[in-house]
Structure 1
């Protein structure tokens, strides 16, 4: 089942399953073990702390729907070779900063609709004030990486240097599926420890994780 999930096509969120469809729906937890619809609904509830929150993903196959849970907050560690490849991909092998922040745009979806310009709110990750404040919290370089999407103009904000995710390197390393709106990861450049947040996240969440990373 786990291997199969890598080859099925992303369809929509759990809540988008058609109520009139004759296809059965099978529910799986983060380990790929089957679970009940009731347990799936409880775990996928958004009214939980970030550490306990899950993203509900849905996939369509020929004969059924697959509903899969993924943890929103993930802690991991990159190997020395993975770190080296990451720095090479980001063209930042000589960085003296302790941390790297990657803000990842997955392409147009029902959440972002291709829009990403700053709207002046402090919690907006594209707002100049938030970006400036983040520098006071964490010694970092920030990278704005996007998936290839020719329907979006990634040059609208002059102070944000968007770069294409070449060969889907960042996506494959941190963001296995399409998570709505945006995702981000903060990496300790010295030891490879990282925390990633999957799916829509504002500036306050980034700053929260930035403070946590200082202790890892």
Structure 2
């Protein structure tokens, strides 16, 4: 999938109160069909709260790979808006926290010390693969246990949300960007998922 930046950080979207429903291929369907599909094995529901959109997602098909049409501009906007010094010549991993939900408010994510230990082990795996930029972005910091431990940043004008995470995926998500290539992982992930995604994108 090709992503066009087009200064999405500054685009105002029209919000409608109508509830709309989509299948896994983004075809609009009725609520009845939507509910029936949710009963099928492996299907889950994700929601875009702002637009009242609901979509079917197959739990084993949560990776999206594609191309950014203006990756240098994305780095420039992030650096300017968030006062960072991200290096375009190094891969960038963005960890995205969508806000509090039942998934990230229970288990490891609900306990700060366990989360910090988990993150430390994740960082070791990542560093074995490559030297990377790391950016932690949140949509809402409600329930974010490690808010004071890391340099978390508010998503500037919902830029990252609009580019990669149009729906609320449970727990948290991440995206790896290498020059103009990206690979996004939607929802709860493991340490190996991050490391393997980084390895794969570097092969291209």
TM (normalized to structure 2)?
0.69
Whole-Å separation in 1 of the counterparts to 2:18 and 2:98: 15
Which of 1 and 2 has greater Rg?
1
Displacement of 1:151 = 5.1
Aligned runs of 1:47-86 on 2, under 5 Å? 55-57=44-46, 67-70=54-57, 72-80=62-70, 81-86=73-78
Q: 2:157 aligns with which of 131, 149, 167?
A: 167
Following superposition, the deviation at residue 212 of structure 1 comes to 0.8
Report SS of the residue matched to 2:141: coil
Q: Show the counterpart of 2:203.
A: 215
Size of the aligned set, in residue pairs, is 179
Residue aligning to 2:169: 179
Cα contact 2:165–2:186 (8 A) shared by 1: yes
- Paired position in structure 2 for 1:200: 188
Q: Which has the higher contact order (CA 8 A, sep 6+)?
A: 2
Whether the aligned pair in 1 keeps the contact of 2:99 and 2:142 (CA below 8 Å) is no
Higher percent of residues as helix: 2
Q: Deviations over 1:97-155 (max 9, x none)?
A: 42000001111111112736242798x3x2x1221221111231111111233554543
How far apart, in 1, do the equivalents of 2:175 and 2:147 lie?
Answer: 22
**Residue aligning to 1:149:** 141
RMSD: 3.6
Distance in 1, matches of 2:129 and 2:84, equals 21
TM-score calculated relative to the size of structure 1: 0.65
The CA distance in 1 between the partners of 2:147 and 2:116, in whole Å, is 20
Describe the shift of the 1:185–1:27 C-alpha distance in structure 2 as closer, same or farther (beyond 3 A): closer
